Amino acid sequence: MSITIPRDAFAAASLAALLALAVPASPAAMAAPDPAAARSGSIDPVAVKAFEAFRAYLRQINSFELRAETTIDDVVGDDLKVQYSGRVRYEFSKPDKLFVDWRSDRMIRRLYYDGKALTIYAPRYGYFATISRTGAVGDLLVDAAEKYDLIFPLPDFFYWAAGHDTADDLQEAVYVGYARIAGVDTDQYLYRQSDLDWQIWIQRGSQPLPRKIVITSRNDPMKPAFSALLQWNPGVALPADHFTFKPTAAVTPVKLSTVAEQGDRP
């Protein structure tokens, strides 16, 4: 018997392409620009600088709790979209501690990582799988996705928190304007890559953290999207033993299948 997590392409899509651009800094705009006027492949330095500020702030945080209310579109057949909802809670402590509680319309999964072992737990079924693993959380999530098809929403935050920089094909970056998200003052930005469009709302003030994100696929004519409303608790105190899975007699250990062992899955 083995345990797997269904692959979710949009939940795992990478944001890293937006954060490593060598664009000169510029003063913040005094008034919200017209997004339509900023089109034609332009990259607004203000929009890029906003991402740089977020990334720099995330690197300063030694621990955080992140809660997200998510929705994702699933294309059924040729022309029908079904939307699923979910909730995910991350508790993270640098460099190598992570707990995840992910609840969707279809499943519940928990991840425990204490810098020595990775455990995936399916509480509805009472199964868990553990493998030995060391290294930073960002590297762990990349490795887990590639080797075991374990993909959780919004993994990029942990990669950036470790200070990793990557670049890709950013085609447009636009500052849209002010927006209030769940009672928080934010600025909305729009980014385009060859295969994805991104909208991100970043909190104003001394904690420039994303409060909402929408990712839309450009490869599919149905344009399925992933969205998340985000709540942050930066600097939260997290006990070290919180990240270690402690099985009871009521749960059963199983094997964690690799991608090769899983074969073709829908």
pLDDT score, position 221: 82
Contacts of range 83-86, beta carbons closer than 8 Å, 24 or more positions apart: 86/153
Contact by Cβ (8 Å): 91, 238? yes
For each of the chain's 266 residues, which pLDDT tens digit applies?
Answer: 333 333 343 333 344 333 333 233 333 333 444 555 445 568 999 999 998 899 899 999 999 999 999 998 888 888 888 898 999 999 999 999 999 999 988 889 999 999 999 999 999 999 999 999 999 998 888 888 888 888 888 887 887 787 766 546 788 999 999 999 999 999 999 999 888 898 999 999 999 999 999 989 888 888 888 999 999 999 999 998 899 999 999 999 999 887 677 755 44
pTM score: 0.81
Backbone phi, psi, residue 31, to 5°: -135, 155
Give dist(CA 136, CA 121) in Å, integer. 20
Q: Annotate 10-48 with b (16+ C-beta within 10 A) or e (fewer).
A: bbbbebbbbbbbebeeeeeeeeeeebeebeeeebbbbbb
Q: Which residue type sits at 189?
A: Y
pLDDT score, position 25: 33
SS3 labels along the chain = CEECCCCCCCCCCCCHHHCCCCCCCCCCCCCCCCHHHHCCCCECHHHHHHHHHHHHHHHHCCEEEEEEEEEEEEEECCCEEEEEEEEEEEEEECCCEEEEEEEECCCEEEEEECCCEEEEEECCCCEEEEEECCCCHHHHHHHHHHHHCCCCCCCHHHHHHCCCCCCCCCCEEEEEEEEEECCEEEEEEEEECCCEEEEEEEECCCCCCEEEEEEEECCCCCCCEEEEEEEEEECCCCCHHHHCCCCCCCCEECEECCHHHHCCCC
Closest to 245 measured CA to CA, from 121, 90, 65: 121
pLDDT score, position 77: 83
Contact by Cβ (8 Å): 230, 68? yes
The domain defined by 2-256 folds into outer membrane lipoprotein receptor (LolB), chain A (2.50.20)
Position of tokens 């928080």?
Answer: 184
Give dist(CA 189, CA 49) in Å, integer. 11
Closest to 10 measured CA to CA, from 182, 156, 159: 156
